[in-house]
Structure 1
Amino acid sequence: MASGLPPLALDTTVVIPSFNSASYLASTLEACAAALSRTSWSAEVIVVDDGSTDATSEVVEEIARTFPFALRLMTQPNSGRFLARWAGIEAASGRNVLLLDSRVLLGPESLRHIESALDADPSRQIWNGHAVTDPAAPLVGHFWEVPVHVYWGDFLGNPRPVEVRADNFNRYPKGTGVFFVPREVLVDACLAVWPEKNAALASDDTKLIRHIAEAHPIQLDPGFWALYRPRTNARAFIRHSYGRGTFLVDSFGGTSRGWTAGLLGLAALPVAGVAALLGLSLSGMLPWAGWLAAGALVVGASPAVVAATRGCPRRGLGAYLAYLPLFVIPYWAGLIRGLRVHGSQLSVRKHARRTAVNGVGR
């Protein structure tokens, strides 16, 4: 363990990064406390206010007065989720850390499920939560159900306990929105994938989890589940799509030749398509331009067809088809930004461990 961190005085620290999530925090913390209370663990909760402009700090301070576990508030200028989590990890005094997003509701028995599993087999130390989209979310919040069913429909259509490892990493859904891990392992992973440039534009989950999976099996188990409450309006959806385009490059750029080619192809294809469409139109070849436009629509809608065969809910299919026009341009623009910021990773994936970040290791 790197020096400069507090002693391991508790079983678990819950770290919740929060940016303008004041309206969600009361229910998030209530569900977290309920799940912790069903275990025998000693625990604390740290909320990191990442430069919010709403009442995040006031809400947490008020809840802390009656919260059944130690509840601490940390504040920092807006720096992105990676650095917000890192601030909480640095301050954590638990042997284990539960990363929990501010809009995620833990299942009541989720942590008890982990405790029972650890009692039976202490080697099963790392757990990726099975996140279920809130069925009551507005339609726009269900858009991503199509992409995730395209990639991970085999698991989502039949959730069951599996181990995520380096050799099957891309076969299963994963994320740090609800992620349980020994603090020492998490610190090592954070330092290994530390952002080289703007941390707010860096992946906050895939790279970190991939690094962990290279050395430790990760449990993905529907017994450890949580309800994910997605964005509730089109404006937030567009902003999120822009960010996900950038994170995609940082998450997968340089991991294989196929991914590198795919990322470059995704960046070039819309430009080539628009150029071809304009060229055909200006040349008076309007029927051909129409066929090209129709083909683009078919290609764009095809993921919904694939997702439908893999058990995607109808509401997710409807959300995808309804909001695809709002998704394409922001996501592509985010991808271009990602290639500009993280383009150096396309040829060489760097794994150098950072040993002197924010005072750690000094």
Structure 2
Amino acid sequence: MTRSGTDQFDVSVVIPAYNSAPWLPTTLEALAVALRRTSWRAEVLVVDDGSTDATVAEMRSLAASYEYDLRVVTQPNQGVFMAVWTGLQEARAEWVLILNSRLLLHTGAVAHLEAADALSAQHPWNGHVVTDPDTPLVGRFWEVPTGVFWRTYLSDPRPMLITPRNFDAVPKGTGCLLVRRQLMIEAYEHSWPAADARFTSDDTKLLRHVAAAVPIRLDPGFSATYRPRTTVRKFLQHAGNRGTLFVDSYAGTSPLRDVVLIALVGLPPVALAVAVGAAASRAWRLLAAVGAAAGAAVAAPAVIALASRTPRRAVLSYLVYVVPFGAVFWRGLARGLVVHRASFGRRRSRADS
């Protein structure tokens, strides 16, 4: 038996939204432009996650004139994980395009998928996402961490398959992802939160399960521009949340990763205590050694990013904001160790390794 309406649409676009009124109109405009260059029949589901701004009113007003079937689904604030889950339940097509509310699909992105006959493929498609170069300085920060960890791909973007073997070495995310609805539902059920869903990984953990089932195609032809947070307050709030989700993404996936996560939380306060003790006892050489080690740890990503030709403005953003970022990201990691403590040391299935 087929689900009602599954033959009506080729793709269901699911957009989780929270206080997204400033971004969604242009996100939907870019989506329409990209879809217009294809023969795909599409429905668009905006899942409002308890916004306190005009997101719902604006989307309902836009729905009347939008050229594609646009529905607005509301829920109490539960985080991105549950917002996408709600969209998956409401979607009527076999394939879903999960789209971040801050993303601008490039004009030929969906046409590239159609030309590749993506809806007949077995594998999902992960978009190639670039940061808006015109964003304020704080918005360029993440280009350094990503430039360090994913430098091999980012130095030469090319079509490739994401598998369990190379999973941690390449960029991926659910902000621009074309995937079979049922496969994503299976990933959700496998990753279902034991506690507050707002602290559950909404990308890496899910995609690790997907990639174990079927390789994910990362393709620069399927591309978009991301508009990051533009104020320091929102950037830091997001950084704290990502710290907690980072723990959920990696805890329990291997003994080594468990040790690294615990070390990331434990080493900074230990180093601070040693530094304070050295200063109090006038052990200047020890204090200098601790300071040099901390400075090297902070500077190393910037040096690697520069060598990898990361834009200088992004490196400047990293250097300006790395200290406050480190403090709130550490706090998020510490919260993650508490919230996701049951995951540590837990034997995972092969799909999670």
2:54 paired residue number: 55
CA contact (8 A) 1:137 1:229 kept: yes
Gaps of 5+ in 2: none
Shift of the alpha carbon at 1:22?
0.3
TM-score by length of 1: 0.93
Show the counterpart of 1:148.
146
* Identical residues among aligned pairs (%): 45
* 1:280-332 alpha-carbon deviations (Å, 9 max, x no partner): 11112235324422331221111111121122111110110010111011000
Deviates more, 1:55-64 or 1:295-304: 295-304
Residue of structure 2 equivalent to 1:320: 318
Contact 1:132 1:228 in 2 (8 A): yes
Which amino acid letter does the alignment assign opposite residue 76 of structure 1? Q
Alpha-carbon distance between aligned partners in 2 of 1:331 and 1:70, rounded to the nearest angstrom: 39
Matched, 1:24 2:19: no
Secondary structure, counterpart of 1:214 in structure 2: helix
1:1-362 matched pairs, under 5 angstroms: 6-9=4-7, 10-118=9-117, 122-350=120-348
Residue 177 of structure 2 aligns to which amino acid in structure 1? F
C-alpha displacement at 1:346, in angstroms?
A: 1.4
CA distance in 2, matches of 1:314, 1:124: 40
Distance 1:136 1:289 in 2: 41
**Are the equivalent residues in 2 in contact too, given 1:192–1:351 (CA < 8 A)?**
no
2 CA distance for matches of 1:32 and 1:349? Answer: 41
CA distance in 1, matches of 2:151, 2:268: 27
Answer yes or no: is the 8 Å Cα contact 2:122–2:214 preserved in 1. Answer: no
CA distance in 2, matches of 1:303, 1:241: 17
| Cα distance in 1 for residues equivalent to 2:162 and 2:4 | 30
2:22 alignment partner AA: S
Q: CA shift at 1:44, angstroms?
A: 0.3
1:258-280, Cα deviation, whole Å (9 max, x unpaired) = 21111011011101101100111
Secondary structure at 2:332 match in 1: helix
Report deviation, 1:351.
5.7
Looking at structure 2, the residues matched to 208 and 291 of structure 1 have their Cα atoms a distance apart, in angstroms, of: 41
Would you say the 8 A contact 2:144–2:302 is kept in 1?
yes
Q: Is the 8 A contact 2:252 2:348 kept in 1?
A: no
Corresponding position of 1:358: none
Shift of 1:348: 1.0
Contact 1:143 1:319 in 2 (8 A): yes
Please give the alpha-carbon distance, in whole angstroms, between the structure 2 residues aligned to 1:35 and 1:322: 36
User: What amino acid maps onto 1:344 in structure 2?
Assistant: A
CA contact (8 A) 1:6 1:91 kept: no
| CA deviation vs aligned residue, 1:172-216 (integer Å, no higher than 9, x gap) | 100001100011111111111111111000100001111010011
Aligned residue pair count: 350
The amino acid that maps onto 1:92 is A
CA contact (8 A) 1:15 1:100 kept: yes
SS of 1:44's equivalent? strand
- Give, in whole Å, the separation in 2 of the partners of 1:352 and 1:23: 42
Which residue of structure 2 aligns with residue 356 of structure 1? Answer: none
Displacement of 1:124: 4.9
Q: Give deviations 1:243-272, integer Å, cap 9, x for gaps.
A: 111011100111112211110110111011
TM-score (norm 2): 0.95
Alignment check: 8 A CA contact 2:80 2:198 kept = yes
CA displacement, residues 121-162 of structure 1 (integer Å, 9 cap, x when unaligned): 933541001000000111101101111011101111110000
Question: Contact between 1:129 and 1:221, CA under 8 Å: does it hold in 2?
Answer: yes
**How big is the shift at 1:6?**
4.5
